[in-house]
Amino acid sequence: MIKVGIIGATGYAGAELVRLLLGHREAEIVWYGSRSYVDERYAKIYQNMFQLVDAKCMEDNMEEMASKVDVIFTATPQGLCASLLNEDILKKVKIVDLSADFRIKDVKVYEKWYGIEHKAPQFIEEAIYGLCEVNREAVKKARIVANPGCYPTCSFLSVYPLVKEGLIEPNTLIIDAKSGTSGAGRGAKVDNLFCEVNENIKAYGVAGHRHTPEIEEQLSLAAKKEVVINFTPHLVPMQRGILVTAYASLTREVSYEELKAVYDRYYQDEYFVRVLEKDVCPQTRWVEGSNFVDVNFKIDKRTNRVIMMGAMDNLVKGAAGQAVQNMNLMFGCEEAEGLLMAPLFP
């Protein structure tokens, strides 16, 4: 059995890790880390775990945890993982970091967009960006995996085939994204109160959301040139889900059949990416609670542009599910182990 420790087990992403790993045949959670709830029973915090989890929460002590587990998930705010990590820990344990600490390769870009000093820049180059559909072989050999952000995962997978094939001009790309409130975490914030969110939709982080450089970096690698985009996220009154609608100019005239063949070629062997049938638009309700990403596209011949769409659960494929997928690759498990649940509906 893979012994698992979770730092930040009582946040939304941490709780989703617990839910998924309880159904994993080859993993066992032995450390539920939480600074806010030390010595409290986990099932008291999350009543859905009553009679499923008997453990109490423990301190977020990465040094001690590293001597007792095989892998540590850090489901924490930016900066914490980097502040705790050192070479002695990495000699003992593998790390899957759900924060942004090791996603961006340029430390100056990270510090500019996140507004904090990076505490472990020596590990940035080694860390593998854990988008399994693109970096699968590198993840298998990794000591540190930087689990991608939720918006970047859905955005990138929606547009990747056409960027990679040079069928769109990436610098014309506009990404409009909408997320449920769980993406903001479990902390108490006025903007996330029911009365603030219900019956409302709003843009935020306009022209400055911190996931922008992560999306641009990955698209630049795919396009083999620098890519600069417009990315605008929106908050919508639902608990889970991300919907991405992206627009870009085509580099030449193409048919539906040609673009469909491109998407099928890139994703035909990717279990968790579902290319939908013609004229079927992705919807968050059809991926909720699952590790699936539904993608599709529509050609607008009048403007010579293409609209690319994607939907996924921000807490599963956008966080915990992708983290488990990465762990499976790192330890030689079946990639879909613990992730075979069908989407929830209604």
Q: Which residues are catalytic?
A: 150
Q: Is 240 helix (H, G, I), strand (E, B) or coil?
A: coil
Pairing relation of β-strands 128-129 and 144-146?
Answer: parallel
Angle CA 224–225–226, to nearest 5: 135
Tokens 């453990």: give the residue.
55
CB neighbours of 170 closer than 8 A, spacing ≥ 6? 163, 219, 223, 225, 227, 229, 248
The DSSP code for 205 is: S
Read off the amino acid at residue 124: I
For residue 290, which of 269, 328, 316, 271 has the smallest C-alpha distance?
Answer: 316
Residue 198: CA atoms inside 13 Å, Cβ hemisphere, count?
A: 3
Q: Is 21 helix (H, G, I), strand (E, B) or coil?
A: helix
For residue 34, which of 55, 3, 20 has the smallest C-alpha distance?
Answer: 55
d(CA 110, CA 282): 31
